[in-house]
């Protein structure tokens, strides 16, 4: 049974929550109150004078224990509440739905669209819902109904990403509709990408890098020799090849990446045999490149926030400078390094300090050419940079 629990907010956090900060941090409410909570409970936040601040639901993920959904004391969270939010989110993406050159994008981005803890992505008629806590999953019926009341669809799929470590829960992801015959091919700025919504945690493409892929294709690839590290299905390599790169080299540790990368090249009319696809550890590849005196004009670095192999662990918050130094060593003078991270635990300023550190330690001059954050469909309130997790910097190596 879902309860309504009153949570007393610590004075230090009350100001932000009153101003519209949507996440309730673990330390934001007094402990004896938060101990009463069960996933999916509603809560009412009050300040230390017992004045009402906001209402929301309890769901544990990363740093937070819940999300604010409403500033109306009388809000009862009926179906209409969820349907309205979904309607509004769709209306804000009307230009995406009209654009036939792009058929995959995000239609609902959690707190940016008024309900933290859940996202919905669109893939040419198919929808994929990601649930980030048990609490939000307990609102599954309301949210799926909201989606059904807002749009037509071929089918709906879902990913549960809330086991103890925030990881994907292995399951059949089909929810309702007519099951897709995967892989399906979606378009992104007229590039083709193969997608499978029922094949584990990942779908084949990270939609938040759309603008970066276009920039690489349109402005950075022509005539270039490109290295794509942590390449997954090779989406950046496809963009570079379509932009006229002389050659691309894609490096990923996972053996599944080989077949998936061949597939992405092939559906774009690119002969994969003219490209290099390596299944190997990126850090071994850097050594291999040095041994063979390989250099690249364009190097993409897009590591996972954390990775563990048998021999080492890698964390972007700690090891990004080292990764950049390895990349600098095999980048041609005047070449471009595309440094990307989706780690939400640090911001652009810190990321740029990693860049500064790596170049100064290698005594190399550089220039930041441009930078990217989340694309428009990944709506995130401008006031709170911590929700803008994506940071991508195009750096030119000058010396
Ligand atoms: N850049 C990709 C997404 C990267 S996802 C894109 O644009 O689609 C992270 C990838 O890093 C995964 O495919 C994972 O297999 C790979 N990976 C993690 N650690 C690695 C390592 N040490 N060497 C090579 N690949 C690694």
Stretch 143-152: mean pLDDT? 98
359 lines ligand 1 (CB under 6 A): no
Average pLDDT for 315-321: 94
Indicate if the pLDDT at residue 310 is higher than 80: no
Res 35: pLDDT: 95
pLDDT tens across 75-129, in order?
A: 999 999 999 999 999 999 999 999 999 999 999 999 999 999 999 999 999 999 9
Mutate to test the pocket of ligand 1, among 104, 228, 304, 310 (most ligand atoms within 8 A of CB): 304
The DSSP bridge partners found for residue 9 are 29
Q: What is the H or E stretch that residue 6 is in?
A: strand 4-8
Distances (CA, A) of 252 to 29, 50, 303, 315, 358: 43, 54, 10, 16, 23
Instruction: State residue 57's pLDDT score.
Output: 98
| Nearest C-alpha neighbor of 71 from the set 80, 81, 61, 79 | 81
Residue 71 DSSP class:
S
Q: What angle do CA 186, 187, 191 make, to 5 degrees?
A: 125
- Cβ of 209 closer than 6 Å to ligand 1, yes or no, is yes
Question: How many angstroms does the Cα of residue 205 sit away from the middle of ligand 1?
Answer: 12
Which atom of ligand 1 is least distant from the CA of 254?
A: 15
Distance CA 217, CA 237 (A): 9
Q: How many angstroms does the Cα of residue 50 sit away from the middle of ligand 1?
A: 48
Identify the sign of the CA torsion 52, 54, 58, 61: negative
Question: DSSP readout, 250-300?
Answer: EEES-THHHHHHHHHHHTTT--GGGSEEEES-HHHHHHHHHHTT--EEEEE
CB of 232 closer than 6 A to ligand 1?
yes
Average pLDDT over residues 308-332: 93
Token couple for 117: 């803890």
Interval 253-302: pLDDT, tens: 999 999 999 999 999 999 999 999 999 999 999 999 999 999 999 999 99
pLDDT band at 351 (very low <50, low <70, confident <90, very high): very high
Tokens read off for 207: 């939609």
Spatial contact of 196 and 260, defined as CB atoms under 8 Å apart = no
Q: How far apart are CA 356 and CA 123, in angstroms?
A: 38
Q: Which of 217, 252, 319 to mutate to test the pocket of ligand 1 (most atoms within 8 A of CB)?
A: 252
pLDDT interval class at 311 (50, 70, 90): confident
pLDDT at 165: 65
Mean pLDDT, rounded, of the chain: 96
Indicate whether residue 193 lines ligand 1 (CB < 6 A): no
CB 233 within 8 A of CB 195: no
What is the mean pLDDT of the segment spanning 141-160?
98
Which of the listed residues 216, 217, 230, 235 should we mutate to test ligand 1's pocket, taking the one with most ligand atoms within 8 A of CB? 230
Neighbouring CB atoms inside 10 A of 130's CB total 20
User: How many whole angstroms from 313 Cα to the centroid of ligand 1?
Assistant: 13
User: Ligand 1: which atom is nearest the Cα of residue 284?
Assistant: 23
Residue 164, pLDDT score: 60
User: For residue 78, what are the contacts with CB-CB under 8 A and spacing of at least 6?
Assistant: none
Q: How far is the CA of 296 from the centre of ligand 1 (A)?
A: 19
**pLDDT score recorded for residue 312:** 83
Q: Calculate mean pLDDT across residues 175-187.
A: 97
C-alpha 263 – ligand 1 centre gap (Å): 17
How far apart, in whole angstroms, are the C-alpha atoms of residue 200 and residue 178?
Answer: 19
Give the whole-angstrom CA distance, residue 355 versus residue 306: 19
Residue carrying the six token digits 């004045």: 51
DSSP 147-201: HHHH---SEEEEEE--STTSPPPPS--EEEES---SSEEEEETTEEEEE-TTSSS
The residue that leads in pLDDT, 167 or 180, is: 180
Q: Tell me, in angstroms, the distance from the centre of ligand 1 to residue 209's CA.
A: 14
What pLDDT is recorded for position 142?
A: 98
Q: Which of ligand 1's atoms lies nearest the C-alpha of 251?
A: 24
pLDDT, position 170: 82
* Cα 37 to middle of ligand 1, angstroms: 37
Token readout for 245 is: 């790169």
Answer whether residue 398 shows pLDDT above 70.
yes
Q: Whose CA is nearest to atom 21 of ligand 1?
A: 281
C-alpha to C-alpha distance for 167 and 160, rounded to whole angstroms: 8
Q: What span, in angstroms and rounded, lies between the C-alpha atoms of 329 and 88? A: 48
Expressed in angstroms and rounded, the spacing between residue 154 Cα and the centre of ligand 1 is: 31
Q: How many angstroms is it from 71 CA to the middle of ligand 1?
A: 41
What is the tens place of the pLDDT at every residue in 37-80? 999 999 999 999 999 999 999 999 988 999 999 999 999 999 99
Percentage of the residues of the chain whose pLDDT score is greater than 70: 99
Tokens of 286: 């850097």
């Amino acid at each position: 049974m879902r309860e309504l629990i009153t949570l007393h907010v610590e004075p230090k956090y009350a100001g932000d929550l009153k101003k519209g900060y949507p996440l309730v941090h673990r330390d934001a409410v007094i402990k004896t109150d938060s101990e009463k909570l069960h996933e999916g409970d509603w809560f009412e936040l009050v300040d230390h004078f017992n004045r009402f601040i906001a209402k929301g639901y309890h769901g544990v993920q990363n740093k937070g224990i819940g999300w604010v959904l409403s500033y109306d004391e009388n809000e009862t969270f009926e179906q209409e509440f969820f349907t309205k939010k979904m309607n509004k989110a769709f209306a804000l993406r009307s230009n995406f739905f009209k654009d036939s050159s792009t058929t995959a994008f995000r239609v609902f981005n959690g707190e940016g669209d008024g309900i933290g803890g859940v996202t919905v992505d669109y893939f040419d008629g198919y929808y994929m819902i990601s649930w980030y806590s048990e609490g939000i999953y307990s609102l599954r019926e309301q949210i799926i109904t909201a989606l059904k009341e807002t749009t037509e669809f071929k089918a709906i799929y879902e990913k549960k990403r809330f086991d103890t470590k925030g990881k994907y829960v292995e399951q059949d992801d089909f929810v309702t509709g007519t099951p897709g015959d995967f892989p399906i091919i979606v378009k992104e700025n007229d590039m083709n990408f193969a997608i499978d919504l029922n094949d584990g945690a990942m779908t084949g493409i990270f939609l938040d890098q759309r603008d970066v892929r276009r920039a690489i294709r349109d402005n950075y690839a022509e005539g270039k020799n490109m290295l794509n590290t942590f390449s997954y299905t090779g989406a950046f390599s496809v963009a570079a090849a379509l932009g006229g790169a002389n050659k691309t080299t894609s490096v990923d540790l996972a053996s599944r990446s080989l077949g998936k990368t061949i597939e992405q090249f092939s559906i774009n009319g690119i002969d994969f045999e003219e490209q290099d696809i390596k299944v190997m550890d990126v850090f071994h590849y850097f050594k291999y490149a040095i041994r063979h005196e390989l250099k690249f004009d364009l190097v993409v670095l897009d590591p996972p926030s954390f990775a563990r192999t048998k021999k080492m662990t890698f964390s972007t918050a700690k090891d990004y400078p080292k990764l950049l130094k390895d990349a600098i060593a095999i980048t041609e003078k005047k070449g471009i390094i595309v440094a990307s991270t989706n780690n939400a635990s640090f911001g652009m300023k810190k990321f740029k300090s990693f860049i500064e550190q790596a170049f100064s330690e290698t005594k190399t001059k550089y220039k930041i050419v441009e930078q990217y954050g989340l694309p428009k469909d990944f709506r995130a309130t401008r006031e709170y940079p911590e929700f803008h997790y994506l940071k991508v910097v195009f750096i030119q190596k000058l010396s």
